[in-house]
Each structure stands twice: as structure tokens, then as C-alpha cells.
Amino acid sequence: MFSLTPKEDKFFNLFVETANIAYEASKLLVEFLKDLDNSEENLKKLKEVEHEGDRKQHEILKQLNNTFITPFDREDIYLIAKDTDDIIDLIESTASRFVMLNVNNSTEEAEILSRMIVECCQEIIILMEELKNMKTSKELSKKIIEINRIEEEGDKVSRKAIMDIFRGNMEVIEVIKWREIYQYLEDTLDACEDLANVIEGVVMKNA
Amino acid sequence: MFSLTPKEDKFFNLFVETANIAYEASKLLVEFLKDLDNSEENLKKLKEVEHEGDRKQHEILKQLNNTFITPFDREDIYLIAKDTDDIIDLIESTASRFVMLNVNNSTEEAEILSRMIVECCQEIIILMEELKNMKTSKELSKKIIEINRIEEEGDKVSRKAIMDIFRGNMEVIEVIKWREIYQYLEDTLDACEDLANVIEGVVMKNA
Amino acid sequence: MFSLTPKEDKFFNLFVETANIAYEASKLLVEFLKDLDNSEENLKKLKEVEHEGDRKQHEILKQLNNTFITPFDREDIYLIAKDTDDIIDLIESTASRFVMLNVNNSTEEAEILSRMIVECCQEIIILMEELKNMKTSKELSKKIIEINRIEEEGDKVSRKAIMDIFRGNMEVIEVIKWREIYQYLEDTLDACEDLANVIEGVVMKNA
């Protein structure tokens, strides 16, 4: 059997909290795309959530340095914290492209991709919650497979969207903007998959 | 003296197998560039090879988690598997740019760079084969230097190609496309160098 | 108490030396921007400094493999060496964009950002010098905060500059060029922050 000390519990709780911040950010991104007329204002909310994520990551790192015995490899705790923070940063960066590149309309594909990011973040919350039961959980591998599936699906959506912009008669300056936005959406989904794969490794090692 | 158990041998064999998949992918890229009229069809072959690479990487990670004593640092085994997989992914991504960006012609420089990727992958196969003799091999350091030399040469070719597209009177939309394709070709060569440098580190540590 | 053997001293000295190379490179970048008429010639000087950085990094890695007891985690020594080298490489890459993309004029924002890189590199020298006193140094955390502040400030400058180019009536080909140059300037400042954060982690672990 395997029992957790309160200190070990602390890491699992912090992971669930950062996953919830990522989920919060992803929902703000979906709303951001629906209200591009107020993009500068809406971006501020996302920046606040990003800063919250930074503080949470810092808390995990501090905890890590003050804890002698960790529930699993220190290196992996560090990686999980970092990869979750990367997701949050990329969500904010994606939204900020609209302001930076002066893009005032959205597209169906951008909306599909941002909803996929929300789905991934929902699955990540469950991953984090299940992490403390990793030796017996049946949910973990299902959720990891699901995140990989969403990422692959998202890859198809963004590749198709990019194919369209290079085959249509969009103005070149618009091509540049949308090329960059789709890249950020894709990178955000990739970051979700990266985190899922790190967690898969942790589960494999500790099974 | 230093002797290998069958289990340790298994890692070296898996590395040689993934290197062969990378080599296979690189040859398909060269052929892909010669037959851009059928790029969508030819891309499918590359995607299959990419999936084969994914399966092989997964096999290495599974093996890693089931093996108590590894021939060298677990971290380095993980990195070698990951970096070889990155090469394969980047080769597929490079080819997929032609489809995504609607590019139906090739250039001399793109062909030179793709042949350089083949050369690197050939050297990488030898690196992987020699890895089990790392304490005595004289080939390893030669091959690592050679891969670094090819990458540096490739860097000059792609920088020169990019200089040309920004100095000629190519249409802007074409500039965007080729800028991105050369970046992917360069990134693929960089990934080969990254792998060679990781192996160099392993050899240094275990010499 | 905590005392250093001469061998441990060697790492700290090598770190200060690489930080000085990064500082040298950053000053050459500022001068490069002031003399774009001779950019190809001036780029050569930067490439020499970059090669010096490569040699120094190699020396650290060699030293690392020949040293049994290191002043702190081997992994962190490796990361510090790698991240300092990344800064130097990115400075050279930033300058080389001007030659590659055929950009013969500079902008106020590019100059501000390059001076910020110089400032960061100055702070990094002090970080490296203080590293051997990490248990008592009061300077370290101040300098880490300062580098994070500069990076955040730089982020605002480059985002603002990019907003301007997408809102003005610059020719599209120029937009492409400047988008890329600002990205490199921003990536270089990010690399400075990455190094500062790695050092922060080392200090936290060893405090």
C-alpha cells in the first residue's frame, strides 16, 4: 500500500489549482474571440489570470525546495509545473496576437481550436485530480489518450485552415496575421499534449 | 572491462532501429521534393513513417520504465529517443509545408538541404551502432564532428537562399512560403546536430 | 560553513568568463545597429565572439565530465552553460537577420531593445560573480528581479513596435522583415530571463 503524508498532498493540490487556472484562461480565450471589439480590455483579464498562474508556479517551486521527500521525482514535479504554466502563457499569447496584429474578426476554425483548448484543460484538471491515485486510477490513461486525440484533431483543423488561407485570395497582410494566429493556437494544443505526455511518463515510472 | 547484458543490448538495438526510421523519412523527403505534383499522396507515406517512429519511441520509453539497470543515464536514454523522434517529426513537417502552403515547385537549395538531412541521418545510424562500443570507438567523435560540419554548411546554404528571396523580386506571398520552408529545413538539420551533441555528452560522461 | 576547493572555483570562473562574452556580444549588437552600412563586415566580429562562446561552453562541459564533486547539481551547471550560450547565439542570430533579410535601417525600438539586452548581460555578469557566495549574497535576488523587470519592459516595447507596424502603412515585405527582427530581439531578452530563472532555482535549492 501507498499512503500520502500531508506534505505530499500539498503538491497534488497545487497541481489541481494550476490546472484550474489554465481552464479559466482557456474559457476567457473562447470569450475573447467572441468579443474582439473590446480585445484590449479583455486581454487584461487574461493577463491577470496569467499572473495568477505565475504565482502558483512559484509556490510549487518554493514548496519543492522546502520538501525533502516528494511524492515522485523532483524533476517531474518541476516539469509538470512548468508545462502547465506554458499552457497558460500560450493562451495569453494567442489572445494578445489579435491586439498586436490588429485582427478584429475571428474565424470558425479559430473558435473550434479555442474550444478544443478548453476541452484539453478540462481533461487536465481530471489528470491532476487523479494523479494522487496513480497506482490504481483507470481514468489517467483514458484522459491522456483523449488529450492526444484532441491535439491530433486540432492539428488537422489548423492545417486545413492554413491550407485555405494560402489557396484563397486573402490579402497578403491578412495571410501573415492568420498564419501566426493559427500557429499560436496549434502551439497551445501542443503544450497540452506535452503536459499529458509528461504525466504519462510519471505514471509509467510509478505504476 | 565492461560487458552488456541482453537487456542493455535492447536499448542499443532500438536506437539503431529509430535511426533507420529517420533515415527512411529523410530519403522520402528527397523523393517528395522531386514529385511535388503528387505531394498529398506522397505526404501520406511520410506520415506512416512518422507514426512508426512514434511507436518505436514509445517502445523505448516502456523499456526504460521496465529496466532497473540501464547502460547509461536514464535521462540520456530518454533524450536520445526524444531527439531522434524530433528529427522524424520535423522531416514530416517540412514536407507538409509544401501541401499546407500550396507550394508546387522546389528549389536547388531545398534539394541540397534535404540531401544534407539524408547525410546526417546516415551518420546518425553509425552513431547509434557505435554507441555500444563507446569506450573504445574511434568512429563516434568523427561522426559527431561530421554532423556538426554538415549542419554548419546547411546553415550557410539556407541563409544564402533566404538572402536571395529577400533581394530578388519574388512575389511577397512566395517570400512568406519559402521563408517558412527554409526555416523547417534548417530546423531539421539543427535537430540532427542536437542529437549528435547529446550523444557526445553521453560518450564524454562514460569514457 | 561552506568552503570551495580550487576545482569548484573553476566553474564559477568559467561562468563569469562566458557572461563576459555574452556582454561583449550585446555591445557589438548595439554598435551593429548604428553601422548597418557595413553589416556584413560587422557580422563577422559577432560570429567570432559566438565561436568564442562555443569554445567556452565546451570547456565547461569537459570540466564537468572530469570533475567528480561539483559545487552544485551537474544538471544545473549544464543548464547555466547552455542558457548563456543560447543568449550569445541569439544575439548573433538577431544581427544576422539584418543581413539575411536585407534590412539597412534601424528603428528606435530595435535600439532600445538591444540596449536592454546589454543591461541584462551586465546584470548576468554580477549574477555569475555572486554565484560562489550564493548562501550569503544579497545581490543575487535583486539582480534576478531586475532581469525579470527588464524582460517585461522589453516585452512591452516589442509588442508596441509590432502593433505599430501592423497599424501603419508599411509595405508588406517590410512588415515581414520587422516582425522577424522584433521576434529575435524579444527571444534574446527571454533567453536572459531563462538564465536568471535557472540561477534563481539553483540559489533556492542551495540556500
At residue B99 the predicted structure's pLDDT band, cuts being 50, 70 and 90, is very high
Which segments of A67-171 does DSSP mark as H helices, in order? 74-100, 108-130, 139-167
> Percent of chain A beyond pLDDT 90?
86
Q: Is the pLDDT of residue B2 over 90?
A: no
Q: Is the pLDDT of residue B1 over 50?
A: no
**Mean pLDDT for all residues in chain B:** 94
Query: What was the pLDDT predicted at A1?
Result: 40
Q: Mention every residue, 6+ apart, whose C-beta is less than 8 A from residue B102.
A: A163, A166, A167, B177
State how far residue B177 is from chain C, nearest Cα, in angstroms.
12
Which residue bears the cell 491550407?
Answer: A163
Q: Mention every residue, 6+ apart, whose C-beta is less than 8 A from residue B80.
A: B15, B195, B198, B199, B202
Instruction: List the single residue in A159, A167, A176 with the smallest CB-CB distance to B102.
Output: A167
Q: How far apart are CA C89 and CA C46, in angstroms?
A: 9
At residue B68 the predicted structure's pLDDT band, cuts being 50, 70 and 90, is confident
Amino acid at C5: T
Least confident of A90-94, A154-158, B131-135, C202-206: C202-206
**Mean pLDDT for all residues in chain A:** 94
* Interchain pair C176, A176: CB under 8 A: yes
Q: Mention every residue, 6+ apart, whose C-beta is less than 8 A from residue B123.
A: B143, B146, B147, B150, B196
Query: What was the pLDDT predicted at C154?
Result: 98
* Interchain pair B102, A166: CB under 8 A: yes
Q: Is the pLDDT of residue A3 over 80?
A: no
* Interchain pair B163, C99: CB under 8 A: yes
Query: What was the pLDDT predicted at B134?
Result: 92
Give the mean model confidence (pLDDT) for residues B135-163: 96
Q: Which chains touch C (3 or more CB pairs under 8 A)?
A: A, B
Q: Is the pLDDT of residue C68 over 90?
A: no
Q: Using one digit for the tens of pLDDT, what is the confidence trace for C106-120? A: 999 999 999 999 999
Q: Using one digit for the tens of pLDDT, what is the confidence trace for A62-81? A: 898 888 888 888 889 999 99
Domains of chain A: 6-206 (1.20.58.220)
At residue C130 the predicted structure's pLDDT band, cuts being 50, 70 and 90, is very high
Report yes or no: C51 at the B interface, CB cutoff 8 Å.
no
Q: Chain C partners of B172 at a C-beta cutoff of 8 Å?
A: 172-173, 176
Query: What was the pLDDT predicted at C204?
Result: 87
Query: What was the pLDDT predicted at B202?
Result: 92
At residue A207 the predicted structure's pLDDT band, cuts being 50, 70 and 90, is confident
Amino acid at C146: E
Is the separation of the CB atoms in B92 and B46 below 8 Å? yes
Give the mean model confidence (pLDDT) for residues B39-63: 96
Query: What was the pLDDT predicted at B206?
Result: 84
Four-residue CA torsion sign, C34, C38, C40, C46: negative
Least confident of A74-83, B59-68, B103-112, C85-94: B59-68
Q: How far apart are CA A34 and CA A106, in angstroms?
A: 8
**How many helices (H) does chain C have, and how many strands (E)?**
6, 0
Query: What is the grid cell recorded at B50?
Result: 512518422
Query: What was the pLDDT predicted at B7?
Result: 65
Q: Is the pLDDT of residue C6 over 80?
A: no
Report yes or no: C96 at the B interface, CB cutoff 8 Å.
yes
Query: What was the pLDDT predicted at C5?
Result: 60
Q: Is the pLDDT of residue C66 over 90?
A: no
Q: Is the pLDDT of residue A205 over 90?
A: no
Query: What was the pLDDT predicted at B3?
Result: 44
Q: Is the pLDDT of residue A130 over 90?
A: yes
* Interchain pair A100, C159: CB under 8 A: yes
State how far residue B102 is from chain A, nearest Cα, in angstroms.
6
Q: How far apart are CA A84 and CA B137, in angstroms?
A: 42
Query: What was the pLDDT predicted at B4?
Result: 53
Query: What was the pLDDT predicted at C50?
Result: 97
Query: What was the pLDDT predicted at A65?
Result: 85
Query: What was the pLDDT predicted at C3?
Result: 44
Query: What was the pLDDT predicted at A204?
Result: 86
Contacts for A132-137: CB closer than 8 Å, 24+ residues apart = A132/A4, A132/A9, A132/A12, A132/A71, A134/A202, A134/A203, A134/A206, A134/A207, A135/A2, A135/A206, A135/A207
Q: Using one digit for the tens of pLDDT, what is the confidence trace for C165-179? A: 999 999 999 999 999
Report yes or no: A167 at the B interface, CB cutoff 8 Å.
yes
* Interchain pair C175, A177: CB under 8 A: no
Report yes or no: A62 at the C interface, CB cutoff 8 Å.
yes
Angle C112-C114-C118 from CA coordinates, rounded to 5°? 110
State how far residue B122 is from chain C, nearest Cα, in angstroms.
25
Query: Distance of CA B21 to CAs B83, B131, B159, Å?
Result: 13, 17, 28
Q: Is the pLDDT of residue B55 over 80?
A: yes
Report yes or no: C62 at the B interface, CB cutoff 8 Å.
yes
Is the separation of the CB atoms in B158 and B182 below 8 Å? yes
Q: Is the pLDDT of residue A131 over 60?
A: yes
- Which value, in Å, is the radius of gyration of the alpha carbons in chain B? 18
Q: Chain B partners of A152 at a C-beta cutoff of 8 Å?
A: none
Give the mean model confidence (pLDDT) for residues A84-92: 98
Half-sphere exposure of A5 (CA within 13 A, CB side): 8
Q: Mention every residue, 6+ apart, whose C-beta is less than 8 A from residue B175.
A: B165, B166, C173, C176
State how far residue A138 is from chain C, nearest Cα, in angstroms.
34
Least confident of A137-146, A147-156, B1-10, B73-82: B1-10
How large is the ipTM? 0.89
Q: Chain A partners of C167 at a C-beta cutoff of 8 Å?
A: 102
Query: What was the pLDDT predicted at B37?
Result: 98
Q: Is the pLDDT of residue B19 over 50?
A: yes
- For residue B78, count other CB atoms closer than 10 A to its CB: 16
